[in-house]
């Protein structure tokens, strides 16, 4: 303590100058460090775009964009390789479509039930159940789709292939159900009580209040829930990689098997791809398409949700 000069030990509001200087340093240091951490998340996006662009550019030097978007064959391992990405996109959209056909009505019904009908105690215990459902690993859902749901469906639908898009689509629908239901429920619960009371004052039943008042008021939030659900379905990997097969097939027929974009990436990554080969680059080209599709959905969802939050 003796080396501290009298000016240093002078107290300001009960603290020494020396301490206050050190404190101010840490205060500023922390602010920069926290900003840097926040910027890492931006760096991740930059890194993703950088990798996708640089790895798929050489691909588009060899495969024309027109062929890429119009060809209906995807045969990267053949002698005469063809790269029509729509082959993968068709399967991706088919599976996602089936998933949404399950998740939209079921999710909406569940959200209406939870936000308009269920007692708080019920709601409190259902939400954790939904979280548990959300927490099941997707490989497990894949196993279930392939070895439980497909055999089950085959007893009703004789022509159903062992690898098909129907079973993973249905399972994926259940998989994204907790997400779409809880996001729409949040949107519906954010609708001010006053609007509901106005509906009840007109003599509306609960159902009418839900369909005529709450859903229209929460529409942008509910739409966001389904768009974000769609994004998840499009990007989901393991369920389709396991249960929809890995054979690129331009089809919208759910009873057939077909490789989605994600299944293709998994399939190629499993094999030993020579770094820098056209097939290696095709993985990134396909990934780029996937990224653009999900990015579009995510941004629409983000702004719809933000608009909804601003409204209430």
Coil, strand or helix at 203? coil
Which part of the chain contacts other proteins (CB under 8 A), choosing from 30-38, 66-74, 189-197, 248-256?
30-38
**Which residues in 73-112 contact other proteins (CB under 8 A)?**
106, 109-110, 112
**Which residues in 191-250 contact other proteins (CB under 8 A)?**
205-208, 210, 228, 231-232, 234-238, 241-242
Coil, strand or helix at 11? strand
Angstrom distance (rounded) from CA 18 to CA 13: 13
Strand partners, 222: none
Beta carbon of residue 43, minimum distance to other proteins (angstroms, whole number): 10
Angstrom distance (rounded) from CA 61 to CA 80: 17
Near other proteins by CB under 8 A: residue from 172, 177, 222, 304: 177
**Cα dist from 45 to 49, 149, 151, 187, 300, whole Å:** 6, 37, 41, 28, 17
Near other proteins by CB under 8 A: residue from 58, 81, 130, 189: 130
Q: Which is nearer to other proteins, 160 or 234 (CB)?
A: 234
- Mapping DSSP onto H, E and C, the string for 245-287 reads CCCCCCCCCCCCCCCCHHHHHHHHHHCCCCCCCHHHHHHHHHH
Strands (E), the chain: 11-12, 15-16
Beta carbon of residue 3, minimum distance to other proteins (angstroms, whole number): 17
**Which residues in 279-308 contact other proteins (CB under 8 A)?**
283-284, 287, 290-291, 294-295, 297-299, 301-302
Q: Which is nearer to other proteins, 2 or 41 (CB)?
A: 41
Torsion on CA atoms 150, 72, 288, 80, rounded to nearest 10: 110
Which part of the chain contacts other proteins (CB under 8 A), choosing from 60-68, 77-85, 140-148, 213-221?
140-148
Interface with other proteins, residue 9, by CB under 8 A = no
**Cα dist from 140 to 15, 181, 187, 239, 256, whole Å:** 59, 21, 30, 8, 22
Near other proteins by CB under 8 A: residue from 4, 69, 148, 307: 148
The HSE-up count of residue 3 (CA atoms within 13 Å, CB side) is: 1
Opening angle at CA 101, ends 210 and 93, nearest 5 = 135
Beta carbon of residue 78, minimum distance to other proteins (angstroms, whole number): 22
Near other proteins by CB under 8 A: residue from 1, 7, 40, 201: 40
Q: What is the CA radius of gyration of the chain?
A: 26
Interface with other proteins, residue 117, by CB under 8 A = yes
Near other proteins by CB under 8 A: residue from 9, 45, 62, 70: 45
Interface with other proteins, residue 265, by CB under 8 A = yes
Beta carbon of residue 69, minimum distance to other proteins (angstroms, whole number): 20
Q: How many residues bind other proteins (CB under 8 A)?
A: 100
Near other proteins by CB under 8 A: residue from 2, 6, 7, 37: 37
């Amino acid at each position: 303590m003796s080396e501290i000069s009298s000016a240093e030990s002078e107290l300001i509001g009960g603290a020494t100058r020396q301490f206050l200087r050190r404190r101010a340093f840490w205060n500023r240091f922390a602010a920069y460090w926290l900003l840097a951490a926040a910027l890492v998340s931006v760096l991740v996006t930059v890194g993703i775009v950088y990798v996708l662009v640089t790895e798929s550019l050489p691909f588009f030097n060899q495969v024309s964009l027109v062929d890429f978007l119009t060809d209906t064959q995807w045969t990267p391992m053949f002698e005469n390789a063809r790269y029509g990405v729509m082959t993968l996109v068709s399967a991706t959209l088919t599976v996602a479509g089936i998933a949404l056909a399950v998740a939209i009505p079921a999710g909406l019904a569940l959200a209406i039930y939870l936000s308009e009908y269920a007692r708080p105690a019920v709601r409190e215990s259902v939400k954790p159940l939904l979280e548990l459902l959300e927490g099941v690993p997707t490989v497990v859902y894949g196993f279930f789709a392939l070895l439980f749901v497909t055999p089950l469906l085959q007893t009703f639908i004789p022509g159903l292939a062992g690898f098909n898009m129907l079973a993973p689509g249905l399972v994926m629908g259940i998989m994204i159900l907790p997400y779409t239901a809880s996001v729409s429920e949040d949107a519906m619960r954010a609708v001010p009580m006053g609007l509901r009371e106005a509906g009840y004052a007109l003599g509306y039943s609960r159902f009418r209040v839900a369909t005529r008042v709450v859903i229209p008021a929460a529409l942008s939030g509910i739409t966001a829930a389904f768009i974000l659900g769609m994004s998840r379905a499009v990007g989901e990997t393991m369920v389709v990689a396991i249960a929809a097969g890995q054979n690129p097939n331009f089809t919208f027929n759910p009873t057939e098997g077909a490789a989605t974009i994600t299944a293709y990436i998994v399939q190629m990554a499993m094999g030993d791809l020579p770094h820098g080969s056209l097939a290696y680059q095709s993985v990134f080209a396909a990934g780029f398409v996937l990224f653009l599709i999900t990015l579009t959905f995510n941004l629409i969802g983000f702004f719809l949700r933000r608009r909804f939050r601003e409204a209430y």
